Amino acid sequence: DTGVSQDPRHKITKRGQNVTFRCDPISEHNRLYWYRQTLGQGPEFLTYFQNEAQLEKSRLLSDRFSAERPKGSFSTLEIQRTEQGDSAMYLCASSFGPEQFFGPGTRLTVL
């Protein structure tokens, strides 16, 4: 039984570049969530999917951010025109019931 996986684990980019992260949930989990965590803070909710439908988006998810889950399996999170303030750990989680299980995260550094 594999857990939630995320790729890449680390990403360093220059300001203004676009980046895309991938999340593969636990098999048969129909819900998938994205969170962002900055240093010294708890994770903050960004968005979540039930199957392929995006059901809620936080106001933290500006128009530079877009998330997709096209076939109800893996999901991608894209950040366009990255800014230094986007530097954070991006966490993905999945669930079948209410208990969420998290992946190892993608640490983004914007120079």
Partner 1 sequence: GIQVEQSPPDLILQEGANSTLRCNFSDSVNNLQWFHQNPWGQLINLFYIPSGTKQNGRLSATTVATERYSLLYISSSQTTDSGVYFCAVEPGNTGKLIFGQGTTLQVKP
Site of interaction with partner 1 (CB under 8 A) = 31, 33, 35, 37, 41-45, 48, 50, 55-56, 58, 89, 91, 93, 98-102, 104-105, 107
DSSP 64: T
CB of 58 to partner 1, least distance (A): 8
18 vs 62, which CB is nearer to partner 1?
A: 62
CB of 81 to partner 1, least distance (A): 25
32 vs 110, which CB is nearer to partner 1?
A: 32
Q: Which H or E element spans position 34? A: strand 31-37
CA distance 84 to 73: 30
3-state secondary structure of 18: coil
Residues in a beta bridge with 82: none
